[in-house]
Amino acid sequence: MSLRDKIGQMVICGFHGTSMDGDLRRLIADYKIGGVIYFARNVESPAQVARLTAELQDTAAKSGTPPLWISIDQEGGMVARITEGVALMPGGMAIAAAGSEEDAYLAAFASGRELAAMGINLNYAPVLDVNNNPDNPVIGVRSFGESPEKVARFGERTLRGFQDAGVAATAKHFPGHGDTDVDSHLDLPTVPHDRKRMEEVELKPFREAVRAGVDAIMSAHIYFPALESGKLPVTLSKAALTGLLREELGFEGIITTDCMEMNAIAEHFGTVEASVMAVEAGADLVLVSHRLDRQLGAIGAIEHAVVDGRLSEERIDQSVRRLLAMKLRRGVLGAGKPPESLPGGLAPQDEQGIAAALPPVKNEAGAGLPGMEDPAAGSPGAPDLSLLGNAEHREIARRISERSVTLVRHGLPMLPLGGERTLVVTIAPGAVTQADESVAAGPGLGSALQRHGLDCREIVVPPAEVTGRLDSLVREAESGGYGHLVVGTYNAQFDAAQISLVKSLIALGKPLAVAALRNPYDLLAFPEVQVYTGAYESRPLAMDSLAKALLGLIPFRGRLPVSLGGLHPAGWGIEL
């Protein structure tokens, strides 16, 4: 491989549209990029994704580019790029609230099988951030909770599930994005804790992930003074990536950056220059998700850094060999026509040696994966889209979702619902962070309650319209002949308008239940609420599970993964 070819392998690029265009073809054929990242903007349907993946891999094969990483953020819950035509699993906090580590494994294994069927081979999950800060604007329900031990256990089961399904897993965001009140998409957060506290909290899940053999770890764009004397985020810190992660924790897999176009990087250091700094720090993969000029700029800057002596070619070779070995491990190098020799100077006999040194991809029962050949044996089997959304996978998702619904307060005798006409005000979901990318607003909680027999009227209100409609909503609640009121909030803790709405409805004196449809921390904004439940997400499945619990069709069995003040510690939940 030429120097340009090797550097290309260290870059993953995003693109716009649902088909390949000339720019993307150029990145693959001429710049030999290591892979692509899919967002919702690239997705129409699972079948379209499978076709697009096949076209991308065919372009790579015909141009002599090693088979690509096809990557995605498919965490489950509120952060998922493919939501239709698949069995969308609950997110991390819902899985933790349901309480079964085995279900965490099964959810990831089922999701991984479906990703693999579409040709996706690298998932940016699980989230191993310990969310112990109620004011965290970007992690929240993506985390398994506030307990480092619980995050470590559920994270380990999740990463094993993905990897047993043949999809590379990525633990993120090292060394921990849970205790921040700033979104790194928007600015550079600082976590001021000393090293002792980091060992006890933030680092614990990542240490366990390394021990469990996680394929990749994603760096956080966060400044930790305990790790770095200069004000550099972890992504650009050699002390953090090489010193701590590689040398101290002993991680031998792939270090990938978070997107280098996030404001924490782009506005403080510049995407192009920071890409060189990330490689200097020890990153193997540089993720540039959006703009072609920055993608080409990053590749060119890394090449110039080698030519000018700032980076050694051996440093590049270390990453490329690591990346190729991982592609071999996950069957990616079998995705196209077998080359006569492996890229990077590896001869065919070296391929056999690497394959022997890496464990084959098997599930926990020791059997080969359904719908796939053993990646160590050659090319993967033909994609089997019948796996997508099958009854077995949907049942896993349903079971977890129903077990996750948590009753936090039951201070009024209004549950189960059913004896009174009910007004249901649902705050529509939306993309509250760039990590969400987009969230479609569908039928609300009231629609689910109606399907299961409740006499109710539903009003769905986008968050931006709550202020303008506040008076009319209160008048309707007061004079519309309703015996019960239900409000589904969506990150109300960050929204003064939603807080005003709930407090105004409380003042009417009618029995009121509040259901948190994302972060459970909403209770802290209106502690006087007497009936309070948490569903952790507002996907259709979660709405259905919550409706069943509110109507008494299934029991409340969830337990809080996070504390909601002194009266409601982590582990709290009322069974009803």
Residue 243 and residue 180 share a domain: yes
The mean per-residue pLDDT over the stretch 16-22 comes to 96
Q: Domain for residue 522, yes or no?
A: yes
**SS3 category, 54:** helix
pTM value? Answer: 0.91
Q: How long, in residues, is the chain?
A: 576
pLDDT band at 348 (very low <50, low <70, confident <90, very high): very low
Closest CA to 500 of 474, 476, 477: 474
Q: Domain for residue 563, yes or no?
A: no
Residue 146 and residue 97 share a domain: yes
Are 191 and 223 within 8 A, CB to CB? Answer: yes
Residue-by-residue DSSP string for 259-327 = ETTSHHHHTTT-HHHHHHHHHHHT-SEEEE-S-HHHHHHHHHHHHHHHHTTSS-HHHHHHHHHHHHHHH
Residues acting as catalytic residues = 185, 258
Burial 63-92 (b: 16+ CB within 10 A, else e): eebbbbbbbbbbbbbbbbbbeebbbbbbbb
pLDDT for residue 359 is more than 90: no
- What pLDDT digit, counting tens, does each position of 123-176 carry? 999 999 999 999 988 899 999 999 999 999 999 999 999 999 999 999 999 999
Q: Domain for residue 393, yes or no?
A: no
Q: CA-to-CA distance for 356 and 33, rounded, in angstroms?
A: 27
Closest CA to 97 of 547, 553, 568: 568
pLDDT at 383: 65
Amino acid identity for residue 377 in this structure: A
What CATH number is associated with residue 149? Answer: 3.20.20.300
Residue 324 and residue 416 share a domain: no
Residue 139 and residue 46 share a domain: yes
Torsion of CA 488, 111, 136, 216, to 10 degrees: 180
Residue 289 and residue 170 share a domain: yes
Q: CA-to-CA distance for 167 and 163, rounded, in angstroms?
A: 5
Mean pLDDT of the chain: 90
Percent share of the chain, pLDDT over 70 = 90
Residue 343 and residue 413 share a domain: no
Are 470 and 495 within 8 A, CB to CB? Answer: no
Q: What does the block give as tokens for 524?
A: 């802290």
**SS3 category, 254:** strand
Of 326, 361, 387, the residue that ends a domain is 387
Give the chain's largest Cα–Cα span.
Answer: 80
What CATH number is associated with residue 424? Answer: 3.40.50.1700
Among the residue ranges 211-225, 433-447, 519-533, the one predicted with the least confidence is 433-447
Q: What does the block give as tokens for 73?
A: 């953020």
Q: Which residues pair with 484 in a beta bridge?
A: 422
Q: Domain for residue 574, yes or no?
A: no
Residue 97 and residue 51 share a domain: yes
Q: CA-to-CA distance for 27 and 224, rounded, in angstroms?
A: 34
Residue 448 and residue 329 share a domain: no
Are 278 and 257 within 8 A, CB to CB? Answer: yes
Q: What does the block give as tokens for 163?
A: 């990897």
Angle in degrees, CA 280, 284, 287, rounded to 5: 100
Q: Domain for residue 430, yes or no?
A: yes
- Say how many C-beta atoms besides its own lie within 10 A of residue 258's C-beta: 27
The mean per-residue pLDDT over the stretch 525-530 comes to 97
User: Dihedrals φ, ψ of 9, to 5°?
Assistant: -65, -20
Residue 414 and residue 311 share a domain: no
Of 326, 354, 387, the residue that ends a domain is 387
pLDDT band at 376 (very low <50, low <70, confident <90, very high): very low
pLDDT for residue 243 is more than 70: yes
Residue 506 and residue 367 share a domain: no
Q: Which residues pair with 288 in a beta bridge?
A: 13
pLDDT for residue 370 is more than 80: no
- Say how many C-beta atoms besides its own lie within 10 A of residue 340's C-beta: 7
Q: Domain for residue 557, yes or no?
A: no
Q: CA-to-CA distance for 247 and 553, rounded, in angstroms?
A: 53
Distance of CA 277 to the CA centre of its chain: 25
Q: Whose structure tokens read 């921390």?
A: 521
Handedness of CA 395, 399, 402, 405 (dihedral sign): negative
Residue 377 and residue 433 share a domain: no
pLDDT at 184: 64
Q: Which residue range(s) make up the domain with 502?
A: 405-550
pLDDT band at 187 (very low <50, low <70, confident <90, very high): low
Q: Domain for residue 400, yes or no?
A: no
Of 356, 387, 418, the residue that ends a domain is 387
pLDDT for residue 219 is more than 60: yes
Burial 200-227 (b: 16+ CB within 10 A, else e): ebbbbbbbbbbebbbbbbbbbbbbbebb
For 480, counting Cβ atoms within 10 Å of its Cβ (0-12 exposed, 13-18 middle, 19+ buried), the class is: exposed
Residue 420 and residue 363 share a domain: no
Q: Domain for residue 64, yes or no?
A: yes
Domain count, the chain: 2
